[in-house]
Structure 1
Amino acid sequence: MKHKIIPLLWSGLASIVLVLITGFVFKIDGFTALKSYGEEPTYKVYALDLPDTLSFAGEKVPLHSTDLRERMDRELLVNTYWQSNMMLLLKRANKYFPTIEKILIEEGVPTDLKYLSVIESGLENVVSPAGAKGFWQIMRNTGREYGLEVNTNVDERNHIGFSTRMAAQYIKKAKDKFGSWTLAAASYNRGMSGIQRNLNLQKVESYFDLRLGQETSRYVFRILAVKEIIENPSKYGYIFEDSDLYYSVPVHFHGLDTAISNLTTFAQKMGVNYKILKIHNPWLLQNHLNNRSRKYYEIAIPEKGYY
């Protein structure tokens, strides 16, 4: 009996593998950015054609030199072929970009700056080893400097609205200093003083002429690569329906200027549970809200019927 089962298992596994491979080949064959070698579709990794033109926040990206083309090629390849991550970014972008874009427009910042949040955090409220937090990876002192509340009870670096507005204000300040959105974006990674120091030492005026450390040297090109793929997903082999994407849940806001002794009880009064309340208000760190100063807070409450 055992001897009969084993061939059947191998046969079944072979069928599954064949389906997976042929399914993947079908997707690969759909790439329009892939070079054509005149062969039948097989599982291979293809080189990509760089776009003829690229821009960031209305500023043209020079791709005339070998150095710049190789740097762009690297980030386009890395992000195109890290398929699981890019598909997640595409799904999350559909959910969060409308909120981010609205605030950037209100702050007078080009909407291309939203791609910084993709590179910084993958559109998640993550914490870096250095302690940077939220979609925009804001350090504690920087957040406080720009007016965010950051303590053990409330951390507005995790508030998508407040943190996006803070990031926009930082980038505007950097743009006023450097006269370039590209340099402003680079300074979000390196710091304004760091970028200024490199500009002075190297006696150049453009990000693309600077010799920088690896992280900042790659930073803008990573942004450009993610922008290119998110704006042209099918060109790079990402096939999905609108229903596959993530969507934001409509909310209304409950305003208050008092403390909340127990968020579980508060959530139940609002018609949701503790988990859902925390999902929509990740800036609330504990199971209560301290409010000795009688500060006014707005707590997001999802509309009925979505959970």
Structure 2
Amino acid sequence: MKSIFTLYIALIACIACAQKKEKTFTSPEGYDFNQPEKITLPHMLQEISGITFKDGEPHTLFAQQDEKGSLFYFNPDATKDMKAVTFGPEGDYEDLALTGKWVILLRSDGSFFTFPFSSTYPEQITAVKTEKLLPKGEYESLATGDDQKLYALCKQCAVDKDGKQTTGYTLQVSPNGTISQLTSFSIPTKNIKNVVSFKGKAFRPSALTKHPTNNEWYILSSINKLLVITDFSWKVKAAYALNPKLFNQPEGIAFDKQHNLYISNEAGNKGNATLLKFSYRKNK
């Protein structure tokens, strides 16, 4: 009887030890990154690479995937009713933004594809404005602020080859949809390293969005499995390691006007693409 009791105690100790060693992941204020609502996306969005809402309206999510020149739009709660419109040839499309009356999509080489926003679309859009404005490099992050300007981050650009900074560009959208480059800015990577480890990898942003009320930028890095938060002037405020079991390949990020946060994962080598919804919980 004593030996059974001793074995039981040892088993409990082993379980406690295993639980103690399990890595915990912290979350930004107002969210629980351990308890998302997980939405499985249809096959046509296996390579989903960017998401956004129009004025934060939660019933229609806009998305694109990085192999097709198509804009997808659907209610996150009814993905079977997804619709799509073709705007261009196949290509490596990485992110999108809706500003004013324009839909703007970013290709990885720094090219922009712009066409008017509409509540309904034909099967194909022919009046698409294409502009190559950003310096040579690879880009995956595009967003708009309350100022209606566009903000794009380098994923990998020659100007950042020393790894000390990540460069971004501010752009202006004119009333007729023409885009012009205004200024550049940078995020010192040491300011992120001071908060969380890169584990020997360079910082490679994969998506960008602005919080609807507090002027903070939320920056995803799929390669680094990180979420970085900066103020509106790109000063790093916080950084969070992401659980790879939930965030297998996070490539899209967006807020709705209720402050709910959405992060999309590409399917990767197996399974389906997913949309993770983190409901906002105001601290009392």
Larger of the two Rg values belongs to structure: 1
The TM-score with structure 1 as length reference comes to: 0.26
Give the strand-richer structure, 1 or 2: 2
TM-score (norm 2): 0.27
